[in-house]
Amino acid sequence: MSEFLVVLRHVTKIYKTHERALLPGLGDLFEKAKDVDSFRALFSKSNIFQAYQGIRETFEAKREEFFHKDSLTERAKFLRELVFKEDELAVSALLDISTEFESGEFAAIAGPSGSGKSTLLNIVGSLEEPTFGQVIFEGRNLEEIREDDRAEFRRRNLGFIFQAFNLIPVLSAFENVEYALILKGVPGDLRRSRTREALRYVGLEDCMHRRPVRLSGGQQQRVAIARALAVDPKLILADEPTANLDSKTAVAILDLMEKINRDKGTTFIFSSHDSMILSRARRVISLRDGAIVGIDHKKTGSVPGIETPPLGRPAA
Ligand code: ADP
Ligand code: MG
């Protein structure tokens, strides 16, 4: 049993126009092929062959090497390296990310636009699957949760806050929060009292019957926070939660997130590219082109670029 809330192991996400065709397709071929020759025969007939001449050539040159790898992990690694050589075929949105999040953390993912922040949060939140690697939540490999059960897993464990607030426009603030509890199956009276309590907690008692259009950006984000909070999640993932807000409102939102973290022990992982917002995190993981380029612990003030193990724990 893992002592961490979330562990990422070699998480790699390759986005590409033909990702869906390429990777599972090759995977099928690898399974069917008994040896190098049958692989070649199958490969030359497949449409992957047509689309990926470049990969084919590289693969041809290295095929002995591939078949000498005896574990699936090794083969996946080989394949990944192969794909990455073909620049025009793949965007490595995340490249071999390994890190852990402790329960109760208030951590940030930093990095310029396109560095992989949203991809990382989406993968931790099981909204997207890694191409390679694993996400372990409370000791459980997310891979093992069937697609049908993912939504239930999210409802049980996670809250989401987005840059664009993502409220349902035809519902009032109250109904937006209540809806999350309906999905979770919380019965009537309890549901309404928890909705009220969450909205009171974020300071929206007086306008909880307004629709989003009649609320300011900061108020809308408070509704979104109340919605996340009401389900009592272990982890709240917030993707650039302040990017659409003025700096004063942004600070108030951070204050609120910090208060939840302190009062309720809810773990937060939020992303931002704003240094003022990032300075509020207790740990900042910096991404550049999908890779970790630094982990900065506020208390220890470690050097960016050098991975610092969590306090009191030896490096892996
Ligand atoms: P950030 O949130 O830091 O701006 P993203 O995680 O959104 O970064 O994107 C990381 C990289 O992956 C970018 O190069 C982006 O263009 C690419 N990307 C993100 N989503 C997709 C997608 N669905 N299809 C193809 N490429 C994507
Ligand atoms: Mg983003």
Strands 158-162 and 235-239: parallel
The protein residue with its alpha carbon nearest to ligand 1, atom 16, reads 114
Output the six-digit token pair for 250: 């942004």
Strands 6-15 and 235-239: unpaired
Strand (E) or helix (H) holding 250: helix 247-264
Residues with CB under 6 A from ligand 1: 15, 91, 93, 111, 113-119
Q: Give the residue from 160, 132, 159, 153 showing the smallest Cα distance to 8.
A: 132
Residue 112 CA: which ligand is closest?
A: 1
Q: Which of 118, 240, 278 to mutate to test the pocket of ligand 1 (most atoms within 8 A of CB)?
A: 118
Going from the Cα of 88 to the center of ligand 2, the distance in angstroms, rounded, reads 22
The protein residue with its alpha carbon nearest to ligand 1, atom 25, reads 15
130-181: pLDDT as tens digits = 988 899 999 999 999 988 899 999 999 999 999 999 999 999 999 999 999 9
Going from the Cα of 278 to the center of ligand 2, the distance in angstroms, rounded, reads 15
284-313: pLDDT as tens digits = 999 998 889 999 987 544 444 444 444 444
88 pLDDT tier (thresholds 50, 70, 90): very low
The protein residue with its alpha carbon nearest to ligand 1, atom 27, reads 15
251-289: pLDDT as tens digits = 999 999 999 999 999 999 999 999 999 999 999 999 998
Residue 250: count of CB within 10 angstroms of its CB: 22
